[in-house]
Amino acid sequence: MELKSKIWMTGSLDWFTYIGEEEVFLGRREVPIPLGEGDTWTNAFGDRFTVENGEIKHLGRVDPPETYW
């Protein structure tokens, strides 16, 4: 599968992409790498994403996942 969305990782291991003209934070460890068709994840802020037709789509916001220490 060819990923049409441009993604990059910063030095602090944060993943980003452009959705439309907007730079969007995808997450850290919760981003499934390598990305494949149908992959879905929720970042630490509750933003849900999926890969459809080779593009990363924002599905909206949900309650952020609980973290246990």
Q: What is the pLDDT tens value at each position of the chain, 69 positions in all?
A: 688 999 999 999 999 999 999 999 999 999 998 999 999 999 999 999 999 999 999 999 999 888 887
Q: Is the peptide bond before 34 cis (omega within 30 degrees of 0)?
A: yes
- Residue 21 resides in a domain: yes
Asked whether residue 50 is assigned to any structural domain, the reply reads yes
Task: Assess if residue 29 is contained within a domain.
Answer: yes
Question: How far from 4 is each of 7, 18, 38, 39, 53, CA to CA, in Å?
Answer: 9, 11, 14, 14, 8
Residue 1 domain-assigned (yes or no)? no
45 falls within a domain: yes
Q: What backbone phi and psi angles, to 5 degrees, belong to 24?
A: -125, 135
**What pLDDT, on the 0 to 100 scale, is given for residue 68?**
84
Its domain, for residue 50, covers 7-61
* pLDDT at residue 66, as a whole number: 85
Give the global pTM.
Answer: 0.88
How many domains would you assign to the chain? Answer: 1
Structure tokens at 29: 């460890």
Give the contacts of 28 (CB within 8 A, at least 6 positions apart): 13, 14, 15, 43, 44
